[in-house]
Structure 1
Amino acid sequence: MTTDRAPAAPEAAPVQAAETPGTSGLMEQHTIGPIPEAERTGTARGVFGIWLGVNMLPLTVITGALATTAFALPFGWALLAVVIGNLVGGVFMALHASQGPQLGVPQMIQARGQFGTKGAALVVLVAMVMFMGFYISNLVVGAQSLHGVYSAVDPTAAIVGAAVVSMAITVIGLRLIKVIITVSAVVVGLLVLASLVWILVSGVPDGALTAGTFSGTGFVSMIAVGAVWQIAYAPYVSDYSRYMPSGSGARAAFWATYGGTLISSVLVMTLGCLVGSAAKGDDVVGGLASLTGGLSTTVLLAFAGASALGNAGNVYCATLNTLTLAETFKPGWLPGLKARLVTSGVLHVVGVVVALAATGGFLTSFTNFITVLLYVLVPWSAINLVDYFVIRDGHYNVPAFFAPGGGPYGSWNVPALVVYLVGLAVQIPFVVLPMYVGPVAAEIGGIDLAWLVGLAVSGCLYWLVARRSQQPRPDVSVAATR
């Protein structure tokens, strides 16, 4: 199924390390290489904690508020759309998480099994841009939260300060990121619950819960937003689960990831739906402050802190993707601690520069951003899941991901790349964007079905192509590659 193929072999040549990873010291030594089984100390509890905390952010509040602001839905319908979207999207995302324990490598390294070592670079680049987009978004919203508490705080200083905190955590690595985000999840989660109780006890503004009008367009569009919120995580869920043991980690990784992300996203988006009903214009953060009264200072400070702390995860994954891109053009090079630190530092600086230039009209820009992400990520997700669970049944030659020429996977898997492009193209008639509405979407009242079409067409077409031309799965077992 691949082109530019190197001769297949039972095992690929071992990866040559420019900087030899190790296990000693406070800082994480591993980057994009396979995690040895002896170092698989990750647990389902740790994975649950990190996904419970990843969504405890003001950005999630703003996303939930889209239902009652941008889509003008009544609160009840808004909440239902949020639940459905996250339930559906979370399944796809958590299925990707189960790949981490089995293969022990970052998610985008595993994409080489579908697209080839060089062919995967396109998807890796898209994922890197996405991670940086969330990093920048969190910088902006975190600064807004802090400014909402202390108006004298300079937003520029807040953004720079948040980046410094994020960099300090990223330097240590995944272990500290997990601890920090888990603790943040507990603190912010309790405050979100307290905020909901406060609003109910203090009295919801008259007409807030019934404001807006139900529309099929708005309802389905908000389901799509909830789904893409989850699917957007798919390119890096294995980055967090790859330290779990291969023997028992796959099923546990799925449920820990699904449970954590579903609970936190629905909880925080519920607050967003309620705040959006009472917010004036796009000032969701201001609406949260006015609704929570005396609790607002604590809530906004906690959200600002969570944005700075949790943002380390976004840059961590962006760093892995940047190193993956670099290794693509230097096959066999295994980056270590020094490469991770330098790359992370550069990405932090780039993010700060963009955040300082992109604070105006943020809500509109963010809506457009996540919508485009949906269309770009859906075909990759469908291809990856069909290949992993249906075509190869989880069996990959992991060392071949790093071999010059890609071993049995080749440098360029042209059929898979064509399927990916087809998956993008078939969505165009169904897309709903401020700058363009597809003809089919316009005909059905502006309802966004592009993501469903993209999933179905990409998955089915890849299955048809792969089952005809797929090479036999590698003789070497996954466990034997580590």
Structure 2
Amino acid sequence: MIEKRTIEYIPEEERHGSVRNLFSIWFSSNMQITTLVTGALAIEFGLNLFWSIVAIVLGNLVGAVFMASHSAQGPKLGVPQMIQSRAQFGVIGAVLPLIIVTLMYIGFFAGSSVLGAQALSSAFSIPINGGIILLGVITCFITILGYDLIHRLERYFAILFAIVFLFVTYEIFRLPLPAGSWDPTHFDLGPFLLTISIVATWQLTYAPYVADYSRYLPSNTPASKTFGYSYAGTVVGTVWMMSLGVFLTAAIPKFLDNASAGLVKLVGPQFGIFMYFVIILGVIGVNVLNLYGAFMSVTTTLEAFTKLKGTTRARFWLVFSTAIVGTVLSVWGHGNFLENFENLILLLSYFMVPWTAINLVDYYMLRHGEYNVEAIFDVNGEYGKFNWIAISSYLVAVVLEIPFVNTTMYVGPIAKALDGTDLAWMVGLVVPTVLYYYPMKKKINIPSEGIQNERFRIEK
């Protein structure tokens, strides 16, 4: 059955599901070829195997803290992640991060589609463009059906992917590695920190997704469990797949020219078609999340101006239109996939990290999860049309990140001085935290003591 809710509040009588499902959805969404290719970038940057693994583990452990902290908001508020941004940016002001997030979803959709289409092309001799279109159709159908089907599929995918990639891991450990792969003395700070940045950003860019898949859980679900299952699922899945990408790129020359074909060659011809099938399912699994998130963000943006109703017909056309945009981008950009994908991840980090900082500071440090959900949907409500403290903090943080940027399109002066080290994501976390917290604390006049806090909530 088609999901009836879109961006509106989920009433308590409609809450359902197990918090344990959050592990499977974030585990399976990362057990796919795009994650593997992202980890492989560490070798492309010049790190050896030892320092690549260290950077991957550190980046995931840090980045996933922020991702899982967003997940814990879902059961408490019962609304999608990005519409909750209206409480920080204002009902109209939230359109700014919403546009960035929508571009992110579509970009990841396009990138994953290319890798899935490569697998389809290699397995069944389907042209790349034809494979991209076929994957878009399948993903569109699942997304239209919505939340419950997505959770159910990801549970089955998690079991299948764990079994298959245990076998793949065994085969990879049998490969010969270049000399010095495990030598800790071969260390280069610039590529090491750049890898940490990309890996942490991988987790940070999940921040707009996560509450969408926990918002149907009962409101009394412990935040520690929501956080813990989300954190464990995303860290285990991502570290596993990124590490496999590092091993394969180090051991197999030109592996990234066609990562899908390289995986199939590794498992042997007798398992080749099945491996392609698993790769394709992985792409479908993550692209459903990308398309679902893009649909929710587009709906949230339009609702601020049009009071769009979440009908089945509107759902179909919004999902379908968004899928077409992502599919066209896949067809257009697949020729230079690796360079385009690397630039996309880094570019998005500069815009998404400040949003993450503002959202988490507001939720955990200022309002302590206490929001007027009705006002989130009211352009004339208590959160207003624009919150210029949030908007200015966000824009200043993005501007201050520029000197720290290191991409193929542009390298900032501080990044050059630090031998290519990219610290922009750290700036994006610290600057808006300071710029937003103190003015907002004064504006909303939050009491500091326990009894005062309780009285404040009742009066409000």
> Aligned ranges for residues 47-66 of structure 1 at < 5 Å?
47-66=22-41
Q: Distance in 2 between matches of 1:206 and 1:430?
A: 33
Deviation at 1:388, TM superposition (A): 0.5
Please tell me the residue identity of whatever aligns with 1:239: D
User: Is the CA contact 2:92–2:379 (under 8 Å) kept in the aligned structure 1?
Assistant: no
| Residue aligning to 2:214 | 241
Q: Distance in 2 between matches of 1:236 and 1:446?
A: 30
Match for residue 324 of structure 1 among 300, 322, 341: 300
User: Is the CA contact 2:25–2:154 (under 8 Å) kept in the aligned structure 1?
Assistant: yes
| SS, match of residue 437 in structure 1 | coil
Q: Residues 359, 222 of structure 1: CA spacing in aligned structure 2 closer, same or farther, 3 A cutoff?
A: same
Q: Distance in 2 between matches of 1:298 and 1:206?
A: 29
Match for residue 181 of structure 1 among 151, 154, 172: 154
| SS, match of residue 43 in structure 2 | coil
| Residue aligning to 1:408 | 382
| Residue aligning to 2:277 | 301
Deviation at 1:478, TM superposition (A): 9.4
Q: Distance in 2 between matches of 1:205 and 1:248?
A: 46
Q: Distance in 1 between matches of 2:377 and 2:455?
A: 15
| Residue aligning to 2:373 | 398
Deviation at 1:312, TM superposition (A): 1.5
Deviation at 1:472, TM superposition (A): 5.2
| Residue aligning to 1:204 | 176
Identity of counterpart residues, as a percentage?
A: 38
Deviation at 1:204, TM superposition (A): 2.3
Q: Residues 123, 178 of structure 1: CA spacing in aligned structure 2 closer, same or farther, 3 A cutoff?
A: same
More displaced, 161-170 or 394-403? 161-170
| SS, match of residue 328 in structure 2 | helix
User: Is the CA contact 2:64–2:235 (under 8 Å) kept in the aligned structure 1?
Assistant: yes
| Residue aligning to 1:363 | 338
Please tell me the residue identity of whatever aligns with 1:204: P
| SS, match of residue 72 in structure 1 | coil
More displaced, 108-117 or 465-474? 465-474
| SS, match of residue 61 in structure 1 | helix
| Residue aligning to 1:20 | none
Task: Kindly provide the CA deviation profile for residues 369-412 of structure 1, in whole angstroms up to 9, marking residues without a partner as x.
Answer: 0001111111100011000001111110000011132x111101
Matched, 1:155 2:140: no
User: Is the CA contact 2:172–2:247 (under 8 Å) kept in the aligned structure 1?
Assistant: no
Task: Kindly provide the CA deviation profile for residues 24-73 of structure 1, in whole angstroms up to 9, marking residues without a partner as x.
Answer: xx21100000000111102212221111111111101100110112x121
Deviation at 1:477, TM superposition (A): 10
User: Is the CA contact 1:100–1:250 (under 8 Å) kept in the aligned structure 2?
Assistant: no
Q: Distance in 2 between matches of 1:194 and 1:208?
A: 26
Return the structure number with greater helix share. Answer: 2
Structure 1: segments with no counterpart, 5+ residues: 1-25
User: Is the CA contact 2:109–2:287 (under 8 Å) kept in the aligned structure 1?
Assistant: yes
Deviation at 1:297, TM superposition (A): 3.8
User: Is the CA contact 2:2–2:146 (under 8 Å) kept in the aligned structure 1?
Assistant: yes
TM superposition score normalised by structure 2: 0.93
Q: Distance in 2 between matches of 1:146 and 1:192?
A: 19
User: Is the CA contact 1:398–1:478 (under 8 Å) kept in the aligned structure 2?
Assistant: no
TM superposition score normalised by structure 1: 0.89
Query: Runs of 4 or more off by more than 6 Å in structure 1?
Result: 473-479
User: Is the CA contact 2:172–2:248 (under 8 Å) kept in the aligned structure 1?
Assistant: no
> Aligned ranges for residues 344-359 of structure 1 at < 5 Å?
344-359=319-334
Deviation at 1:346, TM superposition (A): 1.0
Structure 2: segments with no counterpart, 5+ residues: 448-452
User: Is the CA contact 1:396–1:478 (under 8 Å) kept in the aligned structure 2?
Assistant: no
Q: Distance in 1 between matches of 2:182 and 2:272?
A: 24
Deviation at 1:189, TM superposition (A): 2.3
Measured on the aligned residues, the alpha-carbon RMSD in Å equals 2.3
User: Is the CA contact 2:3–2:146 (under 8 Å) kept in the aligned structure 1?
Assistant: yes
User: Is the CA contact 2:36–2:245 (under 8 Å) kept in the aligned structure 1?
Assistant: yes
Q: Distance in 2 between matches of 1:118 and 1:104?
A: 21
